[in-house]
Every structure is written in C-alpha cells, then in structure tokens.
A = this chain, B = another copy of it.
C-alpha cells in the first residue's frame, strides 16, 4: 500500500508515476474534537484511509493530507468554541488547495481528487479548485481535471439500513457518532475508547445558525449524536462501500 503515498516516494518514482497519468488524491481534513471517546483526527485519518485504498485500486497516488480545516460549525461539528478544534480562516483553506493543485499541475498531474473528511471544508475547497483552474488556464493548461467529493456521500441506503436499523439520525448530526466512530474502531481502535461514549439523543437545532454560537446547544460531549452503537464491523462495511463507490466513480469520471 505504501507505494501510493507521494510523501514516501523518491522523486524519480513520483515523476514516473505522474508521467504515466496517475491521478492524485488529496485527503482534506481538520483537527477537530470528536467527543470524549475519540481522538481529534478522524477527519484526517478517515479520508486518508479511503484515499489510500482507492488509489491502490485505480493506480493513483495520495498526497499528504491537509491536516487543518475550516471552522467547525455548531450544527455540523459542535462549534468552533470547543477546546482542541483548531481551524483555519476560509481564505487560508482556499489558498492551500489552490497552491497544491497549481504545483501538481506543474508536475504534470492532470487528474486530481479532493477527498473531503470535514463537512465545513466543502465550499472553501470548491473555491480553491476554481481559483487553481483559473490560474492554470492563464498558464495555458486547460486539460487539468479535478473532482471534489465527501466520502460519506458514497454510503448507500442499504448500508445505512444495515447499521442504523431504521434509526438513522441524519448526516447533519453524525459528528462523532456511529459512522465516524465505527470507521475509527475498524481502522484505529487505539484511538477510540467506547467506555467514554456519552449516550445522549441526537442534538436538535433550529433551522438557522446563531453567532456567537450558543454553547449550551452543543451536547456536553461535543458529539451531535451518540456513538454507542458503533462497531468495528460497521466501520469495515462503511469503508468497503466507500472505497468501492469512490473507485468506481473515479474510473467513470476520468474515463
């Protein structure tokens, strides 16, 4: 698997792979609290794990993950007031994406995939891609293609049913919940302590956002739903579904 990590290749190997048309996958994460039962890096580790497996499937490469992301929002990540959550301004996220894509294009890469693991990054990744394509166009490069995806968008209804048994609280409150915890239990069991899960009902929010946020709206755990039902087997299933889905999608998209 090692051979997909760009950072672990010597440059001539990388140059050869790029020269053969390998797509490059970039995990985009965050350093963000995910409850008292879990480490703060799931948004980095999960898209990285998926990216590495997808890259192995499709002959791609994986760039170092973007380890810091956009500000956590209360209704999707508990809020940016939480200890440990360490976020960048939107323009910083956008600049990182733009700069990295510009460099990949210079190397000769023509297919890039941003694999997002932190919901709040989405729009700033999109803007980074747009700015990169603009600059590349000015450089006469018009065949650079870029795909943006969030891995959870590849989890189908059958998988949700199998895991949640009809009790799916919705993606909106899946922060630090069954999905992420199960994936971590499968991939990094040492970074989860199920005995520390707070078993509370899903957070309920009004249909608007308030700033400054109201800390009391976020459950004390920092999670938006309970991870109690998390299982390593669920994680294994989700991982397989995501990897297969994304691998297939990329092969179609880059055809």
Contact = CB atoms under 8 A, between A and B. Distances in A.
Interface of A: 2, 6-12, 14-15, 18, 31, 33-41, 44, 63-68, 70-71, 73, 80, 82-92, 94-96, 99-100, 103-104, 107-108, 120, 122-124, 126-127, 129-131, 133, 135, 137-139, 145-149, 153-154, 190-191, 193, 196, 206-212, 222, 245, 249, 252-253
Given A31-B64, A145-B212, A90 B99 contact: no
Contact of A11 (B70, B83, B148): B83
A91 B91 contact: yes
Given A71-B130, A83-B18, A99-B92, A249 B208 contact: yes
List 9 tightest A-B contacts by C-beta distance, closest first: A123-B123, A11-B33, A149-B208, A7-B41, A15-B83, A11-B84, A153-B207, A64-B67, A90-B127
